[in-house]
Amino acid sequence: MGGRGYGFTMSKILFVMTGADHWTLADGTQHPTGFWAEEAVAPYEAFKAAGHEIVVATPGGVVPTVDKGSLAAEVNGGQENADRIAGVLASAPELQAPVRLDEVDLDDYAAVFYPGGHGPMEDLAVDADSGRLLTRALESGKPLGVVCHAPAALLAATGADGSNAFAGRRVAAFTNAEETQAGLADKARWLLQDRLIEAGVQVEAAEPWAPHVIVDGNLVTGQNPASSAPLAAELLKKLG
C-alpha cells in the first residue's frame, strides 16, 4: 500500500529464513537453534526505516524459530537491547506469516536477504528451492545479502554440471575460528568455511566477531552477527 497511488512505489525485499529449530551434530544429537535475532532485526529495521516492504519465506512456509541464545543479554550489549530485539521480533507481522519458499517468484522482489543462525546449516544448505533462488538472484543482478551461517545456503546452489553457482565469488562467512570460539567446531558434522572453500567459493576471513562485509558485484556477504547492520547499509546503497 504505502502511497502507491502517489507515484511512490515501495520495493519489496525477500527475507529467506531457516525453518529449522535444531542443528544435527556429528554424534546425532540435536542442538536447539534457528535464526540469529540480531541478523534478522538489524536489517529488518534498516529496510523498514528506508520505506521498504518485507516478505519472509521459509521452507514449507513454517514460522521461523529464533535461536534462544541470540536473545541473551551478553550477545546483545545488555538486557535492555536484548529486550528491544525480542520486542521487534514479537511485533513483526512478517515473521508470523511467512510464504512458502517453493512458491516465491523472484520477479516480485527488488532484493533478497538471508539472515543466519545455525538453522541454515540444517535445512537451507541442502534446499534445492533455495539453491535455485540464489542462483537466479545472483544472475539477475539484484542485490543479494547473506550473513554469518546463512552462506551455508550457497552450498545448494549448484548448476546442471554440478559446479557451484558461487564458485569464484568472494564472500565473508562465519569462520572456523569463530565456530571454535563458540565451542561447537569439534561437535559439528562439517564447518561452513571448509565447505564453501571446497565448493570453490573464495572465503575472506577477518578477525573473529568483528564486523566484516564483502561486496562482490550484487553479492553482499557478512561474517558474523556484528556484520548484519553494515551489510544492510550496503544493500540499501544498491537499492539506491
Q: pLDDT value at position 10?
A: 72
Our measurement of the distance from residue 87's CA atom to the centroid of its chain's CA atoms, rounded to an integer in Å, reads: 20
- CB–CB of 154/170 below 8 Å? no
Q: pLDDT value at position 22?
A: 98
Which residues in the chain come in under a pLDDT of 50? 1-8
Residue 8 makes CB contacts below 8 A (sequence gap 6+) with 2
Q: pLDDT value at position 6?
A: 43
Q: pLDDT value at position 61?
A: 98
Q: pLDDT value at position 9?
A: 56
Q: pLDDT value at position 1?
A: 40
Place of cell 543466519: 116
- pTM listed for this prediction: 0.95
Q: pLDDT value at position 240?
A: 83
Q: What is the spatial distance between Cα 39 and Cα 23, in angstroms, rounded to a whole number?
A: 18
Q: What is the spatial distance between Cα 228 and Cα 222, in angstroms, rounded to a whole number?
A: 6
